[in-house]
Amino acid sequence: MVTNATQDTLIQVTLPDGAVRETPCGTTGKGVAELVGKRLAADALAIEVDGRVRDLSAPLERSASVRILTFKDPQGRAVLRHSAGHVLAQAVMDLFPGAAPAAGDWSDERYFYDFQVPRPFTAEDLERIEARMGEIRDSDVPFERLELPPDQALHILGPTRNPFKEEMISELDRRGETISCYRQGNWVDLCLGPHAPSTGRAGAFKLLMTAGAYWHGDETQPQLQRVYLTAFPSHKELEEYLARIEEAKKRDHRKLGQELDLFTISPDVGQGLVLWMPKGAALRYELESFLRQKLMESGYQSVYTPHIGKLDLYRTSGHFPYYKDSQYPPIHMREHGSEDDASEEGYLLKPMNCPHHIKIYEATPKSYRDLPYRLAEFGTVYRYEQSGELSGMTRVRGFTQDDAHLFVTPDQLEEELAQTVELVLFVLRSLNFGDYRIRFGRRDPSSDKYGGHPEQWDRAESNIRNVLRGLSMDFSEELGEAAFYGPKIDFVVRDCLNREWQLGTVQVDYVLPERFSLKYIGSDGEVHRPIMIHRAPFGSFERFVGILIEHYAGAFPAWLAPVQARVLPVVDEVLPYAREVYTACRLAGLRAELDERSEKIGYKIRSAETEKVPLMLVVGKREAERRAVALRVRSQGDQGVLPLEEAMARLVVEAARPSGRNS
């Protein structure tokens, strides 16, 4: 399909597999999809042009790299659910004429839209809204993009116009950005897009829940009603998702974390601040020890830094005011005995560890012989997330990162970068996260949030691309997903419930070394500037453990389980031998417990299974006489009677940490 008349000018379209197709200038995204194949064109939801997602109706005006997006692509899924969100907004306004739609967004498999309404929606309201959404979907009217000046955009919104839309249009106009609306039939909404070709492509949807929210997440702003939905191309996929949701409720880390005595959050300490209980601390310590072992093998040096630093340190790095909206307020202190305002100093609970590690690098002169200089820290940082955004361990206000910063020469950069990628892969595979995708987060040239110079970004992005291709890894390039100081490689993991989580990350940074004027003496005797690599395989212990709890449903592998083995005496008279078995477990390095309760053995076994203990050693009179144990393995049952020494040797193997090369 070509817009208007067929153009004489031909442009080249480069597809993801490297194939190049020629097509007339002005060919739409749908036309490009049809060039590739009818099935792809039927499934297409949007098109990605040089990394930017656009409507299928958008014409191509120049040669470009193009990817046709379907529901299999994360961006395609976002487009479908975003489109369903507009169907939701129209349905709400049709049924509740006084409703004021504010804004929506998507996260993972859900989309939400916020409304200002006189009262919260009820379950009956949601049923009515879903029914009306079905009617709008079945009308199958096109989504039409309109780019307009502010006054015309306000006018065309009609009943959808409200103070929220007016504020957004004013802000877009102030920043000189394009103001776009989308029309579906006779209903119009302010939206950046893109959207599916028509409402009929909104698919099979379900309204999941409602919740309170605030405009801009600010408790001083108007209160809103948030409606969550999900959508899939077919009813079968939707039903499978809803079944996963039910399974997820059983695996909820907040519920299991309490039942298994892993962590607690006390309002007396503060929301979003995790208290690790002994069993949770044992799990975390094992994860730390596992990673420390790999870091030692890879030549890292461990450091410790304070939880607080001078405000000017973070001004130099750019973290303040970049993270200002999600930071705890600065702490202003006057020098003791001084009434002079000039003596007042500002401090900040650290939002990142990087500036502290930079100061450790600076503390001693460096030559090329000292590089790579690899610093690692399990460092706690703080972000003041809004209370409505907090969620158990996965969204908190204080968290500990398995953070590291590598200072390297240009010649060392790509090799070190490859090794950090391999380290992250080793960690993910060791924890049974084998299903993942790699997201290459790039700078969006149209945004002003990024530091440094374009040529630095071009070099950093080229470094990452070279490494990923050199490792023969599939990856997607996504504009706007970079850190403010550099592009990054994110590992997006799919768990056993088919949910996606962004876990490990690796980032290349030419910007902070320049801001802090870092240097080393090269082999030529001249002063040079190092390059930084930021990396965190887990991301944060709190979030990672929350995800692990749900991934394993609390039944951790033996090497990671807080309690690896429990000794279960059948009768009280074998307690002396049971204590010997317990001592043997501890001496073998196992995290073990002894159940001395005067309960029947069946009760003790069920209790151990409920608490997800992977290894059970049953001791009765016969076992005591033979200096043996009856071994039970979680989910495998009775393994028979083994001599104590043989049982210990097997348990040590069962509970061994994963090891091997990073590949």
Of the candidates 215, 194, 2, the residue with the CA atom closest to the CA atom of residue 114: 215
Bin 485: left if φ > 0, else alpha if -120 < ψ < 50, else beta: alpha
- Burial of 494: CB neighbours in 10 Å, binned 0-12, 13-18, 19+: middle
Helix/strand/coil for 417: helix
**Rounded to the nearest 5°, which phi and psi values hold at 621?**
-60, -45
Closest to 547 measured CA to CA, from 362, 337, 341, 394: 394
Is 449's pLDDT higher than 90?
Answer: no
Helix (H, G, I), strand (E, B) or coil at 509: strand
Please tell me what DSSP assigns to residue 2: B
Instruction: Give the residues across from 379 on adjacent strands.
Output: 401
pTM of the model: 0.74
Instruction: Say if CB 162 and CB 93 are below 8 A apart.
Output: no
What single DSSP character describes residue 574? G
The architecture in CATH of the region 76-244 reads 2-Layer Sandwich (3.30)
Give exposure, 548-583, as e/b (b: 16+ Cβ within 10 Å). Answer: bbbbbbbbbbbebbbbbbbbbbbeeebbebbeebbe
How far from 286 is each of 291, 422, 615, 656, CA to CA, in Å?
9, 21, 17, 11
Residues 244-300 have pLDDT tens digits of 888 888 999 999 999 999 999 999 999 999 999 999 999 999 999 999 999 999 999
Q: Helix, strand or coil for residue 179?
A: coil
Quickly list DSSP for 85-100.
HHHHHHHHHHH-TT-E
Per-residue pLDDT at 663 = 38
Q: Which H or E run contains 616?
A: strand 615-619
Residue 2, pLDDT score: 55
Task: State whether residue 155 is helix, strand or coil.
Answer: helix
Tokens representing 463? 């470094």
Residue 142 scores a pLDDT above 60: yes
Span 205-211, mean pLDDT?
95
CA 522 from centroid of its chain's CA atoms: 38
Measure the CA dihedral 486/491/492/493, to 10°. Answer: -160
Residue 338 has pLDDT above 70, yes or no: no
- Phi, psi (deg, nearest 5) at residue 107: -150, 125
Write down the domain spans for the chain: 10-70, 76-244, 263-304+365-552, 306-335+343-352, 565-654
Task: Check if the beta carbon of residue 569 is closer than 8 Å to that of residue 578.
Answer: yes
Residue 279: the pLDDT is 97
Question: Out of 3.30.565.10, 3.90.1150.10, 3.40.50.800, 3.40.50.720, which CATH number does the structure's domain 565-654 have?
Answer: 3.40.50.800
Tokens of 65: 């790299």
**Per-residue 3-state assignment (H helix, E strand, C coil) for 378-401:** EEEEECCCCHHHCECCCECCEEEE
60 near 25, Cβ under 8 Å? yes
Lowest pLDDT segment from 143-152, 256-265, 327-336, 613-622: 327-336
Quote the tokens at residue 469: 């291709």
Tell me the per-residue pLDDT of 603-635, one tens digit each, with 9 for 90 and over: 999 999 999 999 999 999 999 999 999 999 998
Q: Is beta strand 100-107 parallel, antiparallel or unpaired with respect to 110-116?
A: antiparallel
User: What CATH number was assigned to the domain covering residues 10-70?
Assistant: 3.10.20.30
Average pLDDT over residues 316-323: 84
Task: Taking residues 127-137, report their average pLDDT.
Answer: 97
- 94-122 exposure pattern, b = at least 16 Cβ within 10 A, e = fewer: bebeebbbbbbebeebebbbbbbbeeebe
Read off the pLDDT of residues 501-534 as tens digits, 9 standing for 90 and up: 889 999 999 999 999 999 999 999 999 999 999 9
Answer yes or no: are the C-beta atoms of 69 and 75 closer than 8 Å: yes
Type of residue numbered 61:
E
| Active site residue ranges | 354, 383, 401, 403, 405, 488, 534
- What long-range pairs does 598-601 form, CB within 8 A, spacing at least 24? 598/572, 601/568, 601/570
pLDDT digits (tens, 9 = 90+) for 261-277: 999 999 999 999 999 99
DSSP state, 142? B
Contact between 574 and 619 under an 8 Å Cβ cutoff? The reply is yes
For residues 469-494, give the mean pLDDT: 93
Q: Which residues contact 413 (CB under 8 A, 6 or more apart)?
A: 463, 508, 531, 533
502 by DSSP, 3-state: which? strand
Q: What share of the chain is helix, strand, coil (3-state, %, to 5)?
A: 40, 30, 35
The 10s digit of each residue's pLDDT in 536-583 is 999 999 999 999 999 999 999 999 999 999 999 999 999 999 999 999
User: What is the enclosing helix (H) or strand (E) of 229?
Assistant: strand 223-232
End-to-end CA distance of the chain: 46
Question: In the chain, pLDDT over 70 holds for what percent of residues?
Answer: 96
Instruction: Fold for 263-304+365-552, please state it.
Output: BirA Bifunctional Protein; domain 2 (3.30.930)
Q: How far apart are CA 208 and CA 126, in angstroms?
A: 9
Element (DSSP H or E) covering residue 10: strand 10-14
Three-state DSSP class for 160? Answer: helix
**656's tokens:** 């061994």
Give all strands (DSSP E) within 305-447, no chain letters. Answer: 308-310, 331-334, 344-349, 373-382, 398-408, 436-442
Position 337 confidence tier, pLDDT thresholds 50, 70, 90: low
Per-residue pLDDT tens digits for 66-88: 999 999 998 999 999 999 999 99
Tell me: the pLDDT tens digits for 375-416?
999 999 999 888 778 889 999 999 999 999 999 999 999 999
Q: pLDDT tens across 158-190, in order? A: 999 999 999 999 999 999 998 999 999 999 999
